Structure 1
Amino acid sequence: MIIGLFYKIKLRIKQNQQSIIEIQIILVNQVIKELYFLFYYYKQVTSQEYKVLQFPK
């Protein structure tokens, strides 16, 4: 997801010729959202795995 994000940002720089500062601000905001989403998803997956692993006992 984050690799795709950097790819999208690079395409935006080439296509729109926006200022680097603007791109960096967008990048930081998106990375924070991505990391929060990944952390939340990781918590969900690990809790599900924990439940699945504890179930047979």
Structure 2
Amino acid sequence: MSEENVGVTAGVFLRIHEAEATWLAVEALRTAANRVRRARVEALRARLVSHGWDPDED
């Protein structure tokens, strides 16, 4: 679904202007993507620590 269609759909559902709904949807997706990235970084950090290197020490 395009950002425009998300905005229209969310705008109708939330009863707000479609531009505001588009912004909210994009921000929600960005936040979810950041959580995934942070989880990946933490998993990598844990693997490094398990092999004897703590990235926080350097």
Separation in 2 of the partners of 1:12 and 1:32?
A: 12
The correspondence for 1:29, drawn from 24, 34, 44, is 24
Unaligned runs of 5+ in 1: none
How many pairs align? 46
Which structure features the higher share of helix residues?
1
1:41 paired to 2:5: no
TM-score, normalised via structure 1 length: 0.58
Tell me how far 1:12 sits from its aligned partner: 7.2
Unaligned runs of 5+ in 2: 53-58
More contact order relative to length (CA 8 Å, sep ≥ 6):
1
Computed over aligned residues only, the root mean square deviation of the Cα atoms, in angstroms, reads 2.7
Largest Rg, 1 or 2: 2
TM-score, normalised via structure 2 length: 0.57
Separation in 2 of the partners of 1:28 and 1:53?
A: 37
- Between the aligned residues of both structures, percent identity stands at 7
